[in-house]
Amino acid sequence: MKKLLTLFLAAGMTLSAAHSASAVELKVSGMYDFSFTGTSNMSGSRSFMDSSDHRHNLKRDLNGRHFDALQRLRLGLEFVMGEQLSAFYQAQIGTFAWGGPYKGASKAEADGGALATRAANVATRLAYLDWMVPNTSVHVRMGQQPFALPAFVAGSPILDDPATGVTITAPVCDWLDLSGFWIRAISDPWKNSSGEYDYRSADVDLFGLVADAKFESFRVAPWAVVGHGGKHFSEVGSTGSTTSGILPFNGMNRLRWNNGELEKSLDPSSSTIWFAGISGEYRPFDPLRLALDFYYSATENSHASTERNGWYVAGLAEYKMPWFVPTLVAWYASGDDSNPTNGSEQPLTLSGGFDPGARAYFDGRYSIANTIDKCDAGGTWGVSAQLNKITFLKDLYHDLAVTYFQGTNNKDMPYDINKRYGGSVSPADYLTSKDNIIEVDFNSSYHIYKNLIAVLELSYLFQDIDGHVWRSATNEKADFSDAWSASLNFRYMF
C-alpha cells in the first residue's frame, strides 16, 4: 500500500513538473469502502442452512453465523491531454477482512488484514484510453473499461462489469447515438493431450451494437451481441462467471441416458453466442416513469445437450412523491425444463448486476461483505413492492422493499444435476418452481458530509424451499432455515 501511494505521488510530481511542456493534467478520484456485517445462513452454496441443517443435509458441522469487518479502496488517476485525448487508470486495494483472509475474495485480494501482515492487495481494475477521431464527433475507448448493456428496470442481468475491449460511440443525429464494441471475454491457451498449447481454440470474442434513441417523453435502446467461443473455452481456467453464464450446467459434456443414469462424454465444439434485446422507458408526465427490458439469448453448438437458450423480461413503474417514491418491479426469466439432455433453457449471462430490490439474494448496492449475490435473473420470476427515497429529515433517506421470487426451473432438475450427473447446484443459485423466497429489505443512508455517506442495510429472507426437491441420494428430505444480513457501511468518495 505504501509503495503504491509513493508511486502515485511520484507520478503526480513528475507530471506537475512537466506540465508546461506536455500540458497533461492529472485528476485523482476514488472510493473508500468500509463494511461491518453480520450474517446468518449466508454461506455461498450452503446458504439457508443453520448448524442443524448442515448436520442433517451434509452430515457435517458448519456454523452459518459470522461477523466481518472489511475494507476496499478504488483509486483512480486520469491523465488529461485535452478534450480529444485522455487516459484513465484505477487500482483496487482489497477487498480484505480485518483480522485475516476473507473467503469471498480472491487469494490475492484476501491476503492481509491479519495482525503483522503487510500484503499489498493491489489489482488493476480499469485501464483505458479515450480519444476522439480527428475532425469528428466519434469517441473511441480502448482497454479495460466498464461495460454495461442497456437496462432501465433492475440493472443488466447480462453484463455490468469491467472487461477488455474497444468501444466506438458516434452521434448520428440530435436524438440518436450508436455504439459498437468488441470484448475479448476469454483468451487463455488450452493445453492439449500432448502438452502443447493451443492459442486459438479457447477464446471468446463478443461484438455488440447499441442504439440509443432519446425523445421528449420516451427513450428506447435496441441492442444485439454476437460472439464466438473456441471449442475448448469451457476447459480453461480463470474464466469466472463468463463460462458458467453461457453454458448449461454440464458445460461441453454431451449427455445421454443409460439405464437411468446420465452418461457424459466430452464434446468440444465451437459455439456461436448471441443476445438480442430492447430496453425502453416512458415518462408520460413528470412524476411517473414506466420502463421495460427484454432480451433473448442462445448458444449454438454441435449437440443439443451443450446448448443454452432462454429469455428475460422485466417491467417497472414508479411515481415520485414529495416524501417517497412508490415503485413496483416485476420480472420473469425462463428456466430449465425436465430434460437434462437438451441443454439449458435459462437465458445467457456474462457478468451481470441484476438488482430488483432483493439485495441480499441478488446484486447488492453498497455492501462489500458476504451475501448470496446472485447477479442474474436466470431461472427466477418475482415481484418487488418498494418505497424508495423516504425522507423526512435532511440528508437522511430510507428504502423499503418487499420482494417475492420463485424459481422457474423444473422441480426434478436438482436431483438429476446433483445426484445423477454429479454437478453442484443449491437454492442459493438455482430455484425450482417448488421453491420461493420473500425478502424484506430496509436500507437507510445518511450523508455525514458531502463526500461521506453511512448506509445501514438490513435484510431478512423468509424461505420456502422444498425439502423433497433437494432430497439426498437416499431420498431423505432436506431441511432449510431463514437467512438474514445486517451491514453498516461507510463510503468516502473523492
Reported as a single tens digit per residue, the pLDDT across 205-245 is 999 999 999 999 999 999 999 999 888 887 765 566 778 89
User: Using CA atoms, how far apart are residues 258 and 262, in angstroms rounded to an integer?
Assistant: 6
Q: Chain-centre distance of CA 182, in angstroms?
A: 20
Give 36-54 pLDDT, tens digit per residue.
Answer: 999 999 888 889 988 888 8
Helices then strands, each counted (H, E), the chain: 6, 22
Residue 384 has pLDDT above 90, yes or no: yes
Name the grid cell of 203. Answer: 477464446
Neighbours of 131 (CB within 10 A): 15
Residue 103: predicted pLDDT: 52
pLDDT band at 20 (very low <50, low <70, confident <90, very high): very low
Closest CA to 67 of 489, 490, 409, 487: 487
User: Using CA atoms, how far apart are residues 322 and 287, in angstroms rounded to an integer?
Assistant: 10
Q: What average pLDDT does this structure show over 27-44? A: 92
Weakest mean pLDDT among 116-130, 229-243, 314-328, 444-458: 229-243
Weakest mean pLDDT among 102-106, 262-266, 394-398: 102-106
For the chain, the average pLDDT equals 88
Residue 250: predicted pLDDT: 86
Q: Quick one: 118 exposed, middle or buried, by C-beta within 10 A (0-12, 13-18, 19+)?
A: exposed
Residue 21 has pLDDT above 70, yes or no: no
Q: Residue 13 is part of a domain; what is its CATH number?
A: 2.40.160.100
The total number of structural domains in the chain stands at: 1
Q: Which domain holds residue 453?
A: 2-493
User: Using CA atoms, how far apart are residues 208 and 96, in angstroms rounded to an integer?
Assistant: 35
Closest CA to 357 of 432, 430, 459, 453: 459
User: Using CA atoms, how far apart are residues 362 and 53, in angstroms rounded to an integer?
Assistant: 23
Give 285-330 pLDDT, tens digit per residue.
Answer: 989 999 999 999 999 988 888 999 999 999 999 999 999 999 999 9
Give 235-284 pLDDT, tens digit per residue.
Answer: 765 566 778 899 898 888 888 888 878 888 887 788 999 999 999 999 99
